[in-house]
Structure 1
């Protein structure tokens, strides 16, 4: 039975150093570079972690913050309950608290996690609403140029529209450079990178 750490950042360009500061304390560290919208069980490294749990190789998991588990409060609580059922003690570093005490669920942990999860979900909802309002305002002013997400373009149409970005990424350039050269947002460049990666797999 071992103590491990799970780390998640949203993009391949994000630095995991802050979350890895205490990595030497663990027998294994799982690092996912994927959006929080992807379910925990569908992430590459998280899937490996779950497999190790099933084979009895893990007894304690550390994460930097509760949002590393999921984007919605329901997803977070489902994972916490799963760990409890498997007698896996979850430690959340930014609140300094374990999910289990003497092998039993810590009621204070669940309460605090529920509050933090709800706050994070509310903040994201507010952010999306502000984003929507900003787009509407830009449209009203005639300055809105459109964005990749929410459009009905299929993957091939996206690649055709952003040929410059595709070229930069295929040449091994960074997402930021590709976005700058292609005159698009970093999010759009990330979307294009994902499409290219999926096509390579196929």
Structure 2
């Protein structure tokens, strides 16, 4: 049997602690634990997951505590599982107990099911977030992100005879932003 590589993820480091996941993975036999602070709804920017996948060798295991620590999407979860298997390794999830080596249809069904559950969960999280933002807007608490571009400055440069491309270069902003400011 090869080495066990653990993978832990938290969404933000604002009030969340990865230490408990790391300790549990080590308790379950992980010799190294790769940790990402990233949103689980996409694979982009998950450098530690990529590093773990690159290091896998035949007969190794990639261990995660829960399916949603790997991904909150069926396609992403199955992509990770298949990348593990392509390396000749095994994906092991602690809760629920899933061992995926690419030969057992039941394990693939379970991964698909938990990926679907993650997708549904992601949908509800976004819906709650939208409702919270709308409620905060009604109270006047949520104003959105502060503007970073001064429309008056854009108009002043246009009045000097500069075109959108020149304005965008001068202010180090996108040309679409210039057009948006001039339309207001």
Per the shorter chain, which TM-score range? 0.5 to 0.7
Root-mean-square deviation over aligned CA pairs: 2.7
Q: 1:92, 1:98 within 8 Å by CA — same for their partners in 2?
A: yes
> Which residue is 1:28 aligned to?
32
Question: 45, 49, 55: which is aligned to 2:48?
Answer: 45
User: What SS does the aligned partner of 2:19 have?
Assistant: coil
Rg comparison, structure with higher value: 2
Structure 1: stretches of 5+ with no match in the other structure: 158-202
Whole-angstrom distance in 1 between the partners of 2:96 and 2:130: 32
1:40-68 residue CA offsets vs partner (Å, 9 max, x unmatched): 6x323222212212xx3771111001112
Structure 2: stretches of 5+ with no match in the other structure: 151-184
Whole-angstrom distance in 1 between the partners of 2:25 and 2:128: 36
The structure with higher relative contact order (CA 8 Å, sep 6+) is 2
> Which residue is 1:143 aligned to?
139
Q: 2:10, 2:38 within 8 Å by CA — same for their partners in 1?
A: yes
> Which residue is 2:161 aligned to?
none
Whole-angstrom distance in 1 between the partners of 2:58 and 2:85: 15
Q: CA deviation at 1:147?
A: 5.4
Structure 2 length as normaliser, TM-score? Answer: 0.67
Q: Does 1:14 align with 2:12?
A: no
Q: 1:4, 1:58 within 8 Å by CA — same for their partners in 2?
A: no
User: What SS does the aligned partner of 1:109 have?
Assistant: helix
Q: 1:5, 1:63 within 8 Å by CA — same for their partners in 2?
A: yes
Structure 1 length as normaliser, TM-score? Answer: 0.61
C-alpha distance 95-62 of structure 1, shift in aligned 2 (>3 A)? same
> Alignment length, in residue pairs?
146
Q: 1:73, 1:118 within 8 Å by CA — same for their partners in 2?
A: yes
Instruction: Spell out structure 1 runs of 4+ moving beyond 6 A.
Output: none
Matches within 5 A, 1:1-202: 1-12=2-13, 13-19=15-21, 20-24=23-27, 25-39=29-43, 42-53=45-56, 56=57, 59-100=60-101, 104-137=102-135, 139=137, 142-146=138-142, 148=144, 151=145, 153-154=147-148
